[in-house]
Structure 1
Amino acid sequence: MAANSSKTVIFAALAGNAAIAITKFVAAWFTGSSAMLSEGVHSLVDTGNQILLLYGIKQAAKPATPDHPFGHGLRLYFWAFVVAILIFGLGAGISIYQGIDKIQTPHAVENAWINYLVLTLGLVFEGGVWWVALRAFRKEKGSGSWIEAIRASKDPTIFTVLFEDSAALLGLLTAMLGIFLSQALGMPWLDGAASIVIGLILAVTAAFLAYECQSLLTGEGSSPDRT
């Protein structure tokens, strides 16, 4: 069933994001890296997002009632839309703010090896979750193109996790590059610039997810075999 596949993907993402969020915040505290702090916020927001998606699946599975004769399927789309707003408002907003603050008051990153270790672990965790989501979405995709499959999908949970983790992988690589360049070139403000780039990545991801979810909420019907 689609719901079982969705839950598997979300639980994998929840475990991975929760684990890496803690390590990112610890690394940011030890090193003073703005990019690492942005990554910690990113993973924390993603963890909360997975909880909201699980709640959305539970709400959408409720049977029809006199007040909701067509069921509660649209509730999943609503919570997926809330997830997109959180990615933009919290993830992107805080990352851009942290980046601007670091550029205005630059300071060198200390004990950078901690950042590199945590970012490498993050790539492993996020890469594993991304692969689980990719496999699940590939089964749903069929023979059509990826964009067509996303536009046609009536289950936003899998492609939401897939896009979240694609953004997470890009964010990790951006943070790693920003920290490396800030050290190699002796320009601490590049760490802040990396944080801003991470925020922009999240903003673009959030905008795309919000567009797809509002389309499901306002125009596309819920598929009867979604659960």
Structure 2
Amino acid sequence: MKEESPKAIIYALAANFGIAVCKFAAASFTGSGSMFAEAIHSTADCGNQLLLLFGLRQARRPASPLHPMGGGREINFYSLLVALLLFFVGGAFSVYEGVHRLMAREPLQYAYVALVVLGVSVVLEAFSLWGALREIRRVHPEKNIWRWFRETRESELLVVAGEDIAALVGLAIAFAAVLLTLVTGNPVYDAFGSIAVGLLLMVIAGLVAREVKSMIVGESASPEVRRAIEAHLRARSEIRGIINMITLQWGRHVVVAVQAEMIDYASGRAMVDAINIIEADLQAAFPQVRWVFFEPDVPRA
């Protein structure tokens, strides 16, 4: 079983740090509300990626008497924090900034500088999204992005991909707002651009938080993994039938609880030996299965 790879997070951190510096400089130079909202968004993203890296480190903590299954699910907690920060720091502050500039009607200066910075930001943000999509395609080449979003159990990659998609769409909105302000001379468009970016971030953050919350509550293994595990067990000659099977995603690992009807054995020891072989073979076939709880039983009417 491979350990969690922080590559997509590191790509996003590097890209967002460069973007944040450029945006703050451009926002100070031009007085653009949309640009300032985007700068706050990129700064929040940098903090988010640092939180995710810390969460991955915590998730590698070994089992202990207090946490007998280790810290694998800690990454879900930190992913939820990131979603909340994206909502409040990125989204709500951008809306506030837009409303403030809408009321103040502050003029936009040097709009061409803002447009150039936004263009550069699109390139850097696309690089970050490319890193996240490459990780997704490498593991799940058969799934489209929406299906992966609903079925994934990788909360840290879910957050990074959600942030990057929101950032690219937000940059497009900010670019359009600044361009309209430049063409018309009316700063209202820039203010509305800031509000639109904030609302977009809040929607994306809500979707990400919903998915991560489900992981924290406790989700089964992904549908394809669960089907493969059940098919593997049903194919075993030692098992007459599966009565019940439960899977639970625990970070990058999976817990499997099986209630099965076994074939007849001469002794209880022979059945125990057979169960041990089944468990060992299951973990060899599915390295992500860290824990197996097997209960021999008979079907009830």
Note whether the superposition's TM-score is higher than 0.5.
yes
* Letter in structure 2 aligned against 1:157: E
Residue 137 (structure 1) aligns with? 136
Supply the AA of the counterpart residue of 2:108: V
Residue 4 of structure 2 aligns to a residue whose secondary structure is helix
Q: Report the structure, 1 or 2, having the larger helix content.
A: 1
**Residue 3 of structure 1 pairs with residue 4 of structure 2:** yes
Gap change, CA 1:61 and 1:219, over 3 Å in 2: same
The aligned runs of 1:74-153 (5 Å cut-off) are: 74-153=73-152
Deviation at 1:116, TM superposition (A): 1.0
For residue 192 of structure 1, what is the amino acid of its counterpart?
A: A
The one-letter code sitting in structure 2 at the alignment partner of 1:54 is L
Q: Aligned residue for 1:66?
A: 65
SS at match of 1:65: coil
* 1:39–1:171 CA contact under 8 A, matched in 2: yes
1:106 partner letter: R
Is the contact between residue 3 and residue 226 of structure 1 (CA under 8 Å) also seen in structure 2? no
Quick check: 1:129–1:165 contact (8 Å CA) kept in 2?
Answer: yes
SS of the equivalent of 1:143 reads: coil
Q: How far is 1:2 from its partner?
A: 5.2
Partner of 1:211: 210
Note the residue ranges of structure 1 that are not aligned, 5 or more in a row: none
**Gap change, CA 1:13 and 1:31, over 3 Å in 2:** same
Instruction: Percent identity, please.
Output: 36
Q: Distance in 2 between matches of 1:226 and 1:25?
A: 46
Which range moves more in the overlay, 154-163 or 54-63?
Answer: 154-163
What root-mean-square deviation, in Å, do the aligned CA atoms of Structure 1 and Structure 2 show? 1.5
TM-score (norm 1): 0.95
2:33 is aligned to 34
In the alignment, the residues of structure 1 paired with residue 61 and residue 114 of structure 2 have an alpha-carbon distance, to the nearest angstrom, of 44
Partner of 1:154: 153
* One-letter amino acid matched to 1:107: E
1:128 is paired with a residue whose SS is helix
Aligned counterpart, 1:15: 14
Aligned residue for 2:191, secondary structure, equals helix
- Of 57-66 and 104-113, more deviation after overlay is shown by 104-113
Quote how far apart the aligned CAs of 1:48 are.
0.3
Shift of 1:182: 1.3
TM-score (norm. length: structure 2): 0.72
Deviations 1:66-113 (A, max 9, x none): 000011111100000000000001000110000001111112211111
Larger radius of gyration: 2
Q: Does 1:184 align with 2:159?
A: no
Deviation at 1:146, TM superposition (A): 2.9
